[in-house]
Amino acid sequence: MGISILVSVLMFVVGACLGSFANVLIYRVPRGLSIVTPPSACPGCGTPIKPYDNIPVLSYLILRGRCRSCGCRISPVYILVELAMGMMFVAVFARYGFRWDAMLPLAFFMVGVTLTVAVIDLKEMIIPNAIIVPSLAAAVIYVAVTAAIRHDPRLLLDQGAGLLIGAVPLGLIALLYPKGMGMGDAKLMAFTGTVLAWKVLPALFLGFLLGSLAAAVPLVTGRKGWKDRIPFGPFLVLGCWLSLFWGDRIISLYRSFLRA
Ligand SMILES: [Zn+2]
């Protein structure tokens, strides 16, 4: 019991620190800025942020969401990303960590990349190639190397199927109906499909379900017109997260329905 609390705290700290790095990517990648230099500065007054003011979650609370130099408000998105990444890391470890699973590093990687991409898509309506393409390449290499080391061709087939199921249908929709779906969404699902394998099917189903529900809300309430585009990426990401945790159960439930 004591050990699992300790591990959870450790996972939260690691996740929150990576969330802090995700915030750098979220701000800089869509603007085409270097992610290494210059060091982080206040967007209001340009004062470089001191290391002791750059502690994930804590600094935001201590400074009450304001810059120490000029007092301008710092977006709550920063602390929300750090909290979400910390909590997702705790959840991934709780689900996959205690029995060692070769897919565990990929699960952490998927959570980190998809949270970053979802926030960028919400803010900028784009899924940057600079993040999703190298992430897809890294996932494919990891799967290929793991399959080779474990002499496990089945792994290649399963994760390869996930990649294709994620990429091909959304890629076709993006080609035929570019207003509704971007190629970024197809690349996102190619990446998560490589991680989720067959669990990409419930991920797509849940993503489409949540996205359609969200798209229907403004139509029902009449607050927004048809033309207001909502980004689809964040809903796909939610579907992927749900499937990462419960996809196996959804698939076996579906199979038992077919048998009945
Ligand atoms: Zn400032």
- Calculate how far, in angstroms, residue 37's C-alpha sits from the geometric centre of ligand 1: 18
- Calculate how far, in angstroms, residue 26's C-alpha sits from the geometric centre of ligand 1: 19
Q: Using N-to-C axis directions, what is the helix angle for 77-96 and 233-259, rounded to 10°?
A: 30
Work out the mean pLDDT of the chain and round it to a whole number: 92
Same structural domain for residues 89 and 124? no
pLDDT digits (tens, 9 = 90+) for 15-25: 999 999 999 99
Lowest mean pLDDT among 13-22, 236-245, 250-259: 250-259
Same structural domain for residues 226 and 166? yes
Same structural domain for residues 219 and 112? yes
pLDDT digits (tens, 9 = 90+) for 10-52: 999 999 999 999 999 999 999 999 988 888 889 889 999 998 9
Instruction: Identify the top-confidence range among 53-62, 94-103, 108-117.
Output: 108-117
Whether the per-residue pLDDT at 148 is higher than 60: the answer is yes
Whether the per-residue pLDDT at 226 is higher than 60: the answer is no
Residue-level pLDDT at 223: 65
- Calculate how far, in angstroms, residue 45's C-alpha sits from the geometric centre of ligand 1: 4
Residue-wise burial string across 84-113, b where 16 or more C-beta atoms lie within 10 A, e elsewhere:
bbbbbbbbbbeebbeeeeebbebbbbbbbb
Same structural domain for residues 112 and 223? yes
Same structural domain for residues 124 and 87? no
- Calculate how far, in angstroms, residue 201's C-alpha sits from the geometric centre of ligand 1: 46
- Calculate how far, in angstroms, residue 78's C-alpha sits from the geometric centre of ligand 1: 15
Same structural domain for residues 96 and 111? no
Residue 111 vs residues 24, 105, 132: alpha-carbon distances, Å: 16, 10, 13
Structural tokens at position 87: 């909590």
Radius of gyration of the chain from Cα atoms?
20
Structural tokens at position 64: 């009450």
- Calculate how far, in angstroms, residue 125's C-alpha sits from the geometric centre of ligand 1: 27
pLDDT digits (tens, 9 = 90+) for 79-95: 999 999 999 999 999 99
Kindly list the protein residues that place their beta carbon closer than 5 angstroms to ligand 1, a single-atom ion: 42, 44-45, 67, 69-70
**Number of separate domains in the chain:** 2
Q: Using N-to-C axis directions, what is the helix angle for 200-221 and 233-259, rounded to 10°?
A: 120
- Calculate how far, in angstroms, residue 75's C-alpha sits from the geometric centre of ligand 1: 12
| DSSP-assigned letters across all residues of 141-206 | HHHHHHHHHTT-HHHHHHHHHHHHHHHHHHHHHHHH-TTT--HHHHHHHHHHHHHHGGGHHHHHHH
Residue range of the domain that includes 178: 102-260
Whether 61 and 55 have beta carbons less than 8 Å apart is answered as no
Residue-level pLDDT at 98: 74
Residue-level pLDDT at 165: 97
Same structural domain for residues 224 and 241? yes
Residue-level pLDDT at 86: 98
- Calculate how far, in angstroms, residue 63's C-alpha sits from the geometric centre of ligand 1: 12
Same structural domain for residues 83 and 115? no
Structural tokens at position 16: 């929150």
Whether the per-residue pLDDT at 260 is higher than 80: the answer is no
Whether 152 and 146 have beta carbons less than 8 Å apart is answered as yes
- Contact residues for 64 (Cβ-Cβ < 8 A; gap 6+): none
The length of the chain in residues reads 260
Whether the per-residue pLDDT at 229 is higher than 90: the answer is no
Whether 48 and 14 have beta carbons less than 8 Å apart is answered as no
Whether 47 and 67 have beta carbons less than 8 Å apart is answered as yes
- Calculate how far, in angstroms, residue 112's C-alpha sits from the geometric centre of ligand 1: 28
Whether 166 and 204 have beta carbons less than 8 Å apart is answered as yes
Residue-level pLDDT at 9: 96
**Residue 14: which of 89, 125, 78 has the closest Cα?**
89
- Calculate how far, in angstroms, residue 42's C-alpha sits from the geometric centre of ligand 1: 5
The dihedrals phi and psi of 48, each to the nearest 5 degrees, come to -60, 140
Residue at a domain's end among 79, 100, 121: 100
Same structural domain for residues 163 and 260? yes
Residue-level pLDDT at 225: 54
Residue at a domain's end among 76, 100, 124: 100
Same structural domain for residues 87 and 111? no
Mean pLDDT of 157-177: 95
Give the residue carrying structure tokens 């669990």: 199
Same structural domain for residues 73 and 189? no
- Calculate how far, in angstroms, residue 54's C-alpha sits from the geometric centre of ligand 1: 13
- Residues forming beta bridges with residue 66, ordered by sequence position: 73
The dihedrals phi and psi of 71, each to the nearest 5 degrees, come to 75, 5
pLDDT digits (tens, 9 = 90+) for 153-164: 999 999 999 999
Lowest mean pLDDT among 34-43, 118-127, 187-196: 34-43
- Calculate how far, in angstroms, residue 47's C-alpha sits from the geometric centre of ligand 1: 6
Same structural domain for residues 82 and 125? no
When pLDDT is cut at 50, 70 and 90, the band that residue 219 belongs to is confident
Whether the per-residue pLDDT at 227 is higher than 90: the answer is no
Burial (CB < 10 A; 0-12, 13-18, 19+), residue 196, is: buried
Residue at a domain's end among 60, 85, 100: 100
